[in-house]
Structure 1
Amino acid sequence: MSRSLPLAAALAGVLLVSGCASTGDLQPASAPVDPAGYALARSLAGAPLSDAAFPNRDWWRALGDPQLDALVDEALRGTPSLAAADARVRKAQAQAGLADAARKPTLGGSAQYAVAQLPEGLAGDEIGGQLMHNAVLMVNFDWPLDVWGGKRAEYEAALDQTHALQVEAQAARLALAANVARGYVALAQAFDALDVANREQARSERLLQLAKQRVDAGLDNRIALRNTETMIATAKAQGGAAQQQIDALRNALAALLGQGPDRGLAIARPQLLKAPAPALPSALPSELLGHRPDVVAARWRVEAAAQGIRTAKASFKPSIDLSGLVGLASTGFSDLFRSDSLLGFGGPAISLPIFDGGRLRNNLAARDADYDLAVADYDATAVQALHDVVDALQAIRSLDEQGASLQQAQAAASSALDLAQARYKAGLGTQLDVLAAQKPLLQIEQQAAGLRAQRYAAGIDLNRALGGGLEVASPNTTASN
């Protein structure tokens, strides 16, 4: 009893002075915004809503081009960007394992044999100048008790960071699929532009033949001839630009596949079907934030920052460590296992900060700031997600309206061409009238090709904005807690 009193008094003194290190009024300054607070109803007014309108995981197959399906599948099988994302996930998992190991007991062993000789002038005649043999065999035990939950919070923070990187790896796959689809749509537009340029060149060359005949017959001057030559040169330049765009896009698609430039040469002309009609899920905006991988990853980082605050607060409190050492020591191996060779040491150890120059408070303040930064990033990502959906939807609406108007113009231009051809066959018109009627139709077809490509791209953007059909795990806890 008399021996335990000093120990108890020491423990009481340690607990009393623990109040010297205090968290004070340090706390985060922000909390994630409730998704229900974002106004969205008016912007989505009139949009087709459905309970099952989130895109499928393979949403690009709705474009109806088997070659595009094969290209996306090839890209997703493994490119350098995806390999890097997967490597980051594995590294985070290893770091989480290290954080988990830091809160568990450890047991180790060691063995040592040493020979020493001390000088007689220092150690005397008894042991000086003689070889001394020492053999030591030990087992070490250590267990840092996580009384305040700080080490567990650090482990959970590492897990949250792992979850964030796993979701970001999914986001990288979604971005890659969308980029391949967008590049493929641009390739289709480039081929359409090449067709229009070739047809315009053929039309202009026919005009040149007629212009030469009229000049030779004295029916016209050389101004019309030069104008026609200008149109031919312009059409050739447009065709060259379209071919250069085709080559560049094939090369870009090969890079997205993680292949060499020759892979792009094997990509045939796209055969896309009609762009699918847009549809929006009825559970906006709340469920959208759970489908978007970038938003979910940002939320996981908020949770990790919250656990970081718990870790910082736990460091203000006393830490308890259980340690022990059991072993054998003797002057030689022959005596190592005798009963009088046994040695041992162990017991609990308590330590706590008393004065640290403000290190703990500044560390907690930094963790609070990290949390506020994570919340700000989450809120900004959530806002951008909602705007991406609305931007894509508004683009689809506008492009569909423009497409309807362009169809009317195309019908009128086609009708005008039919009339010119009928008059020419009836002897009431000339080939010049027919060729002149072809020009606005070609211009409209070129506009239609660009509009069609924009409509495909807007559909791709909408699928990406809605999360691309990915199933990602969101945090279940409330970060503000």
Structure 2
Amino acid sequence: MTQLLPEGAVRRTTAVAAAALALVLAGCADMGNIASHAKLRDAQSLGLTAAPATSTAPAVSAAAPTIDSQWWLAFGNAQLDSLIARAIEGNPNLQVARARLARAQAAVSATEAADKPQINGALDLTRQKFSGNYIYPAPLGGSIQETGALQLNGSWELDFFGKNRTAIEAAIGSANAASAEADAARILLASNVARSYVQWARLHDQLAVAERTLAQREEVFKLVRDRVSAGLDTQLQSKQSEGAIPQARQQIESFREQIEIAQHALDALVAQPGATQALVPPALDGLKTMALQPTIPADLLGRRADIAAARWRVEAATSDVANAKTQFYPNINLVAFAGFSSIGIDNLLKSGSQQWGVGPAIRLPIFEGGRLRANLRGKAADLDAAIESYNTTVLDAVRDVADQVTSVQSIARQQVQQREAQDAAEAAYQIAVQRYSAGLGNFLDVLSAETTVLLQRREGVDLAARALDSQVALARALGGGWQPASDTTAAAASVPQHP
């Protein structure tokens, strides 16, 4: 007969067991002195003020007020619109970003599956000889038999300490970061196409300037030859005038080379070799000016996809730290099985071969050589790196926007001065040619005036191209009209917290 313990002894035994379990838990959950130390930069630390009522987002035409993310429509150029659409559809780099997003989304589904009950089936059929010197008595021991097992096994990890929850949150953060990075790649691609298109237009306008210069020099050469024939000038002036003509032709050929290279760059961006060959060569005056307001509200940086992606990386790293902490606590699973097991396959499906079982399974780390603490330190370091990467992205974005705003405003002022200078140079050139034609001036005056005119014409084209290019760059720097996807949380527009 079994001897029952006195009631007091039972209580003492229970208390000792509880105390021992508490000590084991305390020892296993030693996470002291391991934490992230990096700090997120906020708007105040960046010298930014609260957002005013007006927005600095690129404006679009009144005919399409709902497509502000397609800021390039404001240029009013159908060829550019088509090129950007084709680039977004087929550019390989953008497809790579989309593939990374699909992989991250698949990882979320895989992580979520770990939080659900798991059931699998097994069928084992074996022919084996049983040992005669083991636990099996004769006649089973020493005989050759066929055994079979047909069974369903199930398990469900009870997430008492949040291990699965934090793993899912980390996977969602990574997927949201991948989504924002794919959007950032799309915005960058659109801006690169627009800037390449502006460069193509600039080169065509410069080619037009060079062709106009060639025609102008041929007219001057004709005038010089007439004056030489009349004995009013010498061969020196004739050779000076004639030498300027091949120089102009060389400039024309140089611009044609650059135009073809610019077209190749556009073809590569849209992933269609020869795509630009069927297009009409663009001109700068065929692109309208975008309306961009000069103020930069702090919350506008929350509309940049790259900053949102960096914030999601911080969110994912924060969840990884929390998940590393849950590794210190017990793993509690509910396991069950049901099926058939028999010696002799013909007995496998008989009622006497039924078997089942159900119960909890608990796994507790007691001594693991510092592996869990090392893992937690690594995750804390990853969080520090994610935070500092976010800070770097924010600082670069602030500088980027400030630079582009400065360029847009400065170029506009430069254009005013350049137009005045060009008007004066054109007038001076006409006077010089008239005076030379009338015999009141010399050919050096014409050459000097022509040089000034040529420089101003080229400068005018370059400034017009820079004005458009800086507007594209500012549109990109301001986020390109990006908004978080509807199925993501507000973390893309707020600063994440970390332990």
Q: Do they superpose with TM above 0.5?
A: yes
TM alignment of 1:60-459, pairs within 5 A:
60-118=72-130, 126-127=139-140, 130-215=143-228, 219-260=232-273, 262-271=274-283, 272-280=286-294, 284-285=297-298, 287-417=299-429, 419=431, 437-459=449-471
The 1:369–1:18 alpha-carbon spacing in structure 2 relative to 1, beyond 3 Å, is same
DSSP-derived class of the 1:34 partner: coil
Cα displacement string for residues 383-427 of structure 1 (whole angstroms, at most 9, x for unaligned residues): 1111111101111111111100111112222333454577689x5
Write the distance in 2 (CA, Å) between the matches of 1:7 and 1:275.
81
TM alignment of 1:27-38, pairs within 5 A:
27-38=35-46
The 1:9–1:329 alpha-carbon spacing in structure 2 relative to 1, beyond 3 Å, is farther
Q: What is the CA-CA distance between 1:375 and the residue it aligns to?
A: 0.5
Write the distance in 1 (CA, Å) between the matches of 2:330 and 2:141.
46
8 Å contact from structure 1 (residues 143, 323) kept in 2: yes
Write the distance in 2 (CA, Å) between the matches of 1:121 and 1:88.
58
Write the distance in 2 (CA, Å) between the matches of 1:68 and 1:293.
23
8 Å contact from structure 2 (residues 56, 294) kept in 1: yes
Q: What is the CA-CA distance between 1:143 and the residue it aligns to?
A: 1.4
Equivalent of residue 20 in structure 2, options 6, 13, 18: 13
Q: What is the CA-CA distance between 1:31 and the residue it aligns to?
A: 2.2
Q: What is the CA-CA distance between 1:439 and the residue it aligns to?
A: 4.6
DSSP-derived class of the 1:77 partner: helix
Write the distance in 1 (CA, Å) between the matches of 2:375 and 2:128.
47
Between stretches 234-243 and 444-453, larger displacement belongs to: 234-243
DSSP-derived class of the 2:390 partner: helix
Gap regions ≥5 residues in structure 2: 59-67
Who is 2:61 aligned against?
none
Query: Structure 1 residue 53 and structure 2 residue 56: aligned?
Result: yes
Amino acid at match of 1:357: G
How many residue pairs end up in the alignment? 471
The 1:360–1:121 alpha-carbon spacing in structure 2 relative to 1, beyond 3 Å, is closer
Q: What is the CA-CA distance between 1:245 and the residue it aligns to?
A: 1.0
Q: What is the CA-CA distance between 1:214 and the residue it aligns to?
A: 4.7
Gap regions ≥5 residues in structure 1: none
8 Å contact from structure 1 (residues 200, 439) kept in 2: no
Write the distance in 1 (CA, Å) between the matches of 2:212 and 2:53.
44
Write the distance in 1 (CA, Å) between the matches of 2:385 and 2:195.
33
Q: What is the CA-CA distance between 1:69 and the residue it aligns to?
A: 1.3
Write the distance in 2 (CA, Å) between the matches of 1:75 and 1:228.
47
Between stretches 447-456 and 3-12, larger displacement belongs to: 3-12
DSSP-derived class of the 1:383 partner: helix
Q: What is the CA-CA distance between 1:36 and the residue it aligns to?
A: 2.6
8 Å contact from structure 2 (residues 124, 148) kept in 1: yes
TM-score scaled by length of structure 1: 0.89
Query: Structure 1 residue 479 and structure 2 residue 497: aligned?
Result: yes
Cα displacement string for residues 55-94 of structure 1 (whole angstroms, at most 9, x for unaligned residues): 2211112222121111112212232112111111110011
Write the distance in 2 (CA, Å) between the matches of 1:11 and 1:158.
36
Write the distance in 2 (CA, Å) between the matches of 1:400 and 1:384.
24
TM-score scaled by length of structure 2: 0.86
Cα displacement string for residues 259-318 of structure 1 (whole angstroms, at most 9, x for unaligned residues): 11x212123211423423431456x11x12210000000000000000011001111112
Equivalent of residue 470 in structure 1, options 472, 476, 482: 482
Write the distance in 1 (CA, Å) between the matches of 2:282 and 2:453.
23
Amino acid at match of 2:79: Q
8 Å contact from structure 1 (residues 141, 324) kept in 2: yes
DSSP-derived class of the 1:396 partner: helix
Q: What is the CA-CA distance between 1:225 and the residue it aligns to?
A: 3.5
DSSP-derived class of the 1:264 partner: coil
Question: CA-atom RMSD, angstroms?
Answer: 3.0
Between stretches 204-213 and 72-81, larger displacement belongs to: 204-213
Write the distance in 2 (CA, Å) between the matches of 1:388 and 1:211.
53
Amino acid at match of 2:252: G
Q: What is the CA-CA distance between 1:352 and the residue it aligns to?
A: 1.8
The 1:11–1:267 alpha-carbon spacing in structure 2 relative to 1, beyond 3 Å, is farther
8 Å contact from structure 1 (residues 62, 276) kept in 2: yes
DSSP-derived class of the 1:28 partner: coil
